[in-house]
Structure formats: C-alpha cells, structure tokens
Amino acid sequence: LVTALLMAGTATAQTATMTPDIGTPFNAVTAEADYIRREVMIPMRDGVKLYTVIVMKKGTQDGPILLTRTVYNAARNTSRNPSQQITEILPVSDREFVTDGYIRVYQDVRGRNKSEGDYVMTRPLKGPLNPTPVDHSTDAYDTIDWLVKNVKESNGNVAITGSSYPGFTSLMALVDPHPALKAAVPMSPMVDGWIGDDWFHNGAFRQTMLDYFTGQTASKNDGDPVAMGRRDYYAEYLAAGSAGAYVEKYGLDQLPGVRKLMEHPAYDSWWQGQALDKILGGRPLTVPTMLVVGQWDQEDSYGAPAVYRALEPKDKDNKLLSLVIGPWRHSGVNYDGSSLGVLRFAGDTGLQFRRDVMKPFLDSHLRANAKPFDAPPVLTYAVGADRWERHDRFPAGETVNLYLDDRFSLSLNAPAAKSAHDDYVSDPAHPVPFVPVPVNMRDRPMWGAWLVSDQRHASTRPDVVAYVSAPLQAPLQIHGQPEANLFASTSGTDSDWVVKLIDVFPEENSDKPELAGLQLGIGMEIFRGRYVKGFDTPGPLTPGKAERYRFLLPGVNHVIPAGHRLMVQVQSSWFPLYDRNPQTFVPNIFHAQSKDYVKATQGVWRDAVRPSHIAIPVVGGAAAAKAALGN
C-alpha cells in the first residue's frame, strides 16, 4: 500500500524518527483467532473494580461459566502463549472445558495486579478481623452476579475452581453463595495457615515461605524472592540465626503481611477466626463441591481433608460432597500427572481426573441437558497399585496400630517392656536437612517433588532414628490419614518432632534402578513440642518427661506391595523448610537468641505405658495387616 501511495505521488505523514518506539498501546490483532477474549472491570458493592478476563470459543452460546479468582495474574493466565488458538492462550488444564463450550473467566482479586482496592493476604471474612463490608465471599458473589447478567453467551450457571490461593477463594465463594453458583472444585485450598497449610504445620514455622511475601506483597504486581546473597537456603538461614533475625536482616519486617504473621506465632484467635474448615462447618452445605488434593502436596496438604471432615456430616445422602486425592504435588492436578519425581503412574492422572471426573461433574450441574453424573463420594488413586478407586467414605481403612519396637523394628503388638526408649542427640547447629544440601528453594522441580524424594539421606544420620519392618508378605493398603502417636522426651525445654511413615522399596531392581532401595515418604509431618498442651497454650516441656504427641499425617491411598518394608523415621529438625527449634523454651521462637540454641538428648519411648505407634487406616483392618506384617 505504501509503495502504491508513493507511486501515486500522494504525500503521507511519516512517522517522526524520534517517536518513542515503546509506549503506544499495542493490541495484538486476533482476527483469525478461534476465541473471544474480553477484559472488563467488574464493580464490587464498595465501588472497587476488579480486573476480569473472559475467554470463550467464537460462536459460544449458552455456555456455562468456569470462574477462577486469583492472586497469580489473570492477564497472564489468559495469555500463556501469543496465539490465535484458545487452547494455546489458556492453561492446559482448561482445554477440556473451553473446547466444549465453557466460558473461562479469570479475575485478579482486589488489590493484586490489575484490580483496584487493597490487598490483604488471605483476607478474612467480614467480622471481628475484617470491619470492611467486603471479603472474598462478597467479591465472588458480586462477580458472579455481574457475569450472569452481562455475559450474553452464558447460560447463567457458574462454577468456581482454582488451586491453592485460588482454592481458598473457591471455598470463600461457598460462604453465602450466589444462587447461580452451581458447583465448586477447590483444589489444594489454603484452609488453615497455622495447623497444616502454608505458614505453619502444627506450630512449626515454614520459613521458606518468606519468599512468598516478597513475591506477593512487595508490589502490586509479581515481585521477586528475597534478595539474599547465596543460593543455599540451608547455609543462609543457619547463618542468620532465628527466622526473626533473617526477617530483620533483609528488611522483610517492612511488609505488613510478615509482621502480622510474626505477631501471631501461636494458634490464637487471629488464626482460629480464619480457619475456613470451621467457618464452613458452621454453615449449611448447599453447593455441590468436589475437594481435590495431591497425596504429596508440599504446600497445602491439610486443607482439603479438613474441609471434608467438617462438611461430610452435612452430606446426608452422599450427594453434595466429594474428596479426590491423586498422586500429585501441590497443584499437580492441573499439569501432566503421569509422573512425580522417580515415580511413574498409569497415564496422565491429571488429565484423567479433569476429563473423566471434573468435566462430567460440572456438566451435570451446569448444563440443562447433560448426562447425570454419579459423582464419587471419595475418589483416590491407589499409589502402588496404579488404579483409581471409588469409596463411600474417607478413610476406607480401619485403624491398626503399628508400634515402634525393640531393635528398631515395627510390630503390630504393643510393647511389653516396663521402660524402654531409643535416644539421639539433636543439635540445632547441625539441623537435619529436608533435602540434601545445597537447598535451592527456587529450584521448582526439586520443590514440587521433594515429598517423594529418597529419605535415605536422613535415615543414615545419627540424629534420626529409623524403625523398619520385615519385608511384607502380602500387599498392605493404607487409605486415610495415618496418625502419629509419639511418646517422646527431651533434655531441653522445647523440641520439634518429625514423624515419617515410609515405603521402603526392595534393594534390587535392575529394571528400574532409580527405585532400588528407595525410601519413599507415604506421609510425613512435624509437631512443635511447646504446643503439646494445646495450640493456643505454648509452654515449656519438662526435661526428661515423655509426652504424647498426636498428629495426623497427610491423606493417602497407598498400596505397599509384598516385598517392600515399612519404616518410621523420627527426627527433631527439618531445615530450612521449618525454622529451628532452639530446644530451650523462649516466649517467641521468632526472636530466639543464639544462646538459646542448645543440643538436646531426645528419647523415643516404646514401652507398655509409652507405646509410640502410628495408627494406620488399613484396608481390611487387623486381618490384612497381619497377613502383610505377619506378627
């Protein structure tokens, strides 16, 4: 055209050489696109507008809406690759939905990325902790209300989904839900940040989450991890001293979110008032809900089973609530689920779930003429047997106690000795690493798969005690949440206790050498000793006195084949994932001083009055356990 105009002798205005080359708005031309992508600002009841992206295939009519409310950048979620294809611009996990007429909606929560308003990390519901008129429940309500009135291609039915933080916002939408909200699929939701999700586990602080604060709150847009001088988090955190000293060293106390966390080290009313399982448990369940979590969820293993426990009694006919556990890392359900670390599964388990379960579940609730779908009350992937299983309840196993016994063995019989314990020395100057050093928390594949990483590096340390069974004579299936019942003493006045239930693979495997001798964590968890009398009543431990520590390990369906062995490991640090317990009682561990960090002699008790054991939900109960363990 330019040449033609020049040839015709017509003068055209030239672009001035010094016109800045960056700064003019650019909108990619998507004339050939198979999709419509609309950006809108949806007004909330307080006037704040939330940035929302609506994506659908061209020609969509009567489409159900699938909504995600996120802190992870709605614009980026809807522009994965520059492309004219809907399946390229949206995450892989949306494929089955948008290619079958769903309208996909992503929204930045208030205050993040392109949305207006204030961002408050895991904003509490309106009430004592939140005197404003808005929260994630009202924002979900107002958003759904706007969508069903303004998206002309929709059929007026909405479902909400998302993993982790968006799992939390999915659950929040269930508090006083909008009538158009017809189903919810919260994945790995953050439910209680103190008991077992992101920030603490049973009171032990997950200090590596501090990177998350700079990433999420140092700026409205995505920030960077903490600017520290080395990549080995083990060395870095050890050099800093306490988590509080690390925070001060890098100026993280400028961030209100970090300060709030550090002002509430115990399970006080601030945490209790935000516990979403308890909040939802106090309300009617009206929206069909499918809770999803990974068996090896390294961030939010607590939330989904806890909400299931709180809501299940309300689901009288087993029609409204489902629990799904797959062989996944945190959020792994939305990616390729054919492997995790060295483990391989029977095909892409993430796709299998999304295509064969989630999609028909949503169709049945959002589409008038959809086939009815008999949603499984409990759907779990049996690791080790490589099959999906449907059950009416979770757990399907019956409790069998597995006792820590003489000579570092495991037994189905309670110990008879009058007084017996195994000792080790826990030294905060040499904490047990959670993965072999150097520990690089920015290594995402490492972090994603660490819960299936080989625990041999720990069982060979002198500050870890390991109890192991004989090779199983028959397969043993664990379905549910094992419960650690540890009787333990310390020579100090505070202590951490880590209990790991492990599947030990046979020593030889020439077909799959990567599995030979593998010590695979079935479920592993930590408990901070100062809370033995109650999560809101920290107190010093009495040196030498064995206390009983009871805590749940994550939910699993795990089949341990014949020939494998069971192992239980106990240790007193898990660094740098958890901050070190100084082993001297101090009012607030965030501010422990170097003199407080002392070596302690730890005792794991295994006698008639202090029978340390794991209560394991075994399919087939005592008889099946006896057939496998033979004693």
Residues that bind ligand PG9 (CB under 6 A): 122, 164-165, 168, 190, 198, 212, 299-300
**Least distance in angstroms from the C-beta of 257 to ligand PG9:** 10
**Least distance in angstroms from the C-beta of 190 to ligand PG9:** 3
Closest alpha carbon to 491 in 427, 592, 583 = 583
Please tell me the distance from the alpha carbon of residue 140 to that of residue 143, in angstroms, as a whole number: 5
Q: What are phi and psi of 519, to 5 degrees?
A: -105, 100
**Least distance in angstroms from the C-beta of 61 to ligand PG9:** 34
Nearer Cβ to ligand PG9, position 224 or 374? Answer: 224
**Least distance in angstroms from the C-beta of 268 to ligand PG9:** 19
Nearer Cβ to ligand PG9, position 190 or 614? Answer: 190
| Secondary structure (3-state) at 284 | coil
Nearer Cβ to ligand PG9, position 211 or 427? Answer: 211
Q: In angstroms, what CA-CA distances link 202 with 196, 329, 455, 549? A: 6, 20, 22, 11
Q: In angstroms, what CA-CA distances link 205 with 245, 299, 509, 569, 589? A: 14, 13, 38, 21, 9
Nearer Cβ to ligand PG9, position 198 or 363? Answer: 198
Burial class (CB in 10 A: 0-12, 13-18, 19+), 123: buried
User: Around Cβ 622, how many Cβ atoms within 10 Å?
Assistant: 13
Nearer Cβ to ligand PG9, position 198 or 277? Answer: 198
**Least distance in angstroms from the C-beta of 123 to ligand PG9:** 11
**Least distance in angstroms from the C-beta of 188 to ligand PG9:** 7
Nearer Cβ to ligand PG9, position 70 or 202? Answer: 70
Closest residue to ligand PG9, judged by C-beta, is 164
Nearer Cβ to ligand PG9, position 70 or 489? Answer: 70
Nearer Cβ to ligand PG9, position 164 or 455? Answer: 164
**Residue 539, amino acid:** G
User: Around Cβ 5, how many Cβ atoms within 10 Å?
Assistant: 11
Helix (H) or strand (E) holding 613: strand 613-618
User: Around Cβ 492, how many Cβ atoms within 10 Å?
Assistant: 25
**Least distance in angstroms from the C-beta of 609 to ligand PG9:** 40
Say what angle helices 136-150 and 165-172 make with each other, to 10 degrees. Answer: 80
**Maximum Cα interatomic distance, the chain, rounded to a whole number of Å:** 107
Nearer Cβ to ligand PG9, position 168 or 353? Answer: 168
Please give the DSSP secondary-structure letter assigned to residue 485.
E
Please tell me the distance from the alpha carbon of residue 378 to that of residue 392, in angstroms, as a whole number: 6
**Least distance in angstroms from the C-beta of 115 to ligand PG9:** 17
**Least distance in angstroms from the C-beta of 391 to ligand PG9:** 27
Closest alpha carbon to 286 in 445, 176, 376, 158 = 176
Alpha helices in 43-124 (DSSP H): 74-77, 86-89, 95-98
Nearer Cβ to ligand PG9, position 441 or 618? Answer: 441
**Least distance in angstroms from the C-beta of 333 to ligand PG9:** 13
- Token couple for 274: 């935000």
Helix (H) or strand (E) holding 627: helix 621-629
Cβ(627)–Cβ(433) below 8 Å: no
Nearer Cβ to ligand PG9, position 300 or 607? Answer: 300
**Least distance in angstroms from the C-beta of 223 to ligand PG9:** 14
Cβ(108)–Cβ(50) below 8 Å: yes
Helix (H) or strand (E) holding 522: strand 519-528
Q: Please give the radius of gyration of the chain, using alpha carbons only, rounded to the nearest integer.
A: 26
Nearer Cβ to ligand PG9, position 451 or 570? Answer: 451
What is the per-residue DSSP string for 381-427?
A: EEBTTTEEEEESSS--SEEEEEEEEGGGEEESSPP--SS-EEEEEE-
Nearer Cβ to ligand PG9, position 167 or 395? Answer: 167
**Least distance in angstroms from the C-beta of 121 to ligand PG9:** 7
**Least distance in angstroms from the C-beta of 307 to ligand PG9:** 14
Burial class (CB in 10 A: 0-12, 13-18, 19+), 183: buried
**Least distance in angstroms from the C-beta of 330 to ligand PG9:** 6
- Token couple for 499: 């209990």
Nearer Cβ to ligand PG9, position 168 or 505? Answer: 168
**Residue 346, amino acid:** A
